[in-house]
Amino acid sequence: MTVWRKSSYSGSSGDCVEIGHGVGVRDSKAPATHLSVSAEAWSAFLSTIKKTAPHR
């Protein structure tokens, strides 16, 4: 069983992105379906987001 955690950017709404360690990414509205992501792709994604996203 994978433990999914909600994105910190989702706030208190029920509509959010969830991340499952070693599994991928899913939409909380469709939890039975997820997008598999390799560790390398996830690291590249996070690196890009950190460089381009506005700071809160």
Residue 19: the pLDDT is 80
Average per-residue pLDDT in the chain? 80
Give the domain extent around 9.
4-52
Residue 1: the pLDDT is 58
The percent of residues above 90 in pLDDT, for the chain, comes to 2
Predicted confidence (pLDDT) at residue 49 exceeds the cutoff of 60: yes
> Number of folded domains in the chain?
1
Answer yes or no: are the C-beta atoms of 26 and 35 closer than 8 Å. Answer: yes
Residue-wise DSSP of 1-56: -PPEEE-GGGTTSS--EEEETTTEEEETTSTT--EE--HHHHHHHHHHHHHHSPP-
- Summarised one tens digit per residue, pLDDT across range 22-47 is 778 888 888 888 888 888 888 898 89
CA atoms within 13 A on the CB side of 44: 5
CA 44/CA 5 separation, integer angstroms: 20
- The whole-model pTM stands at 0.57
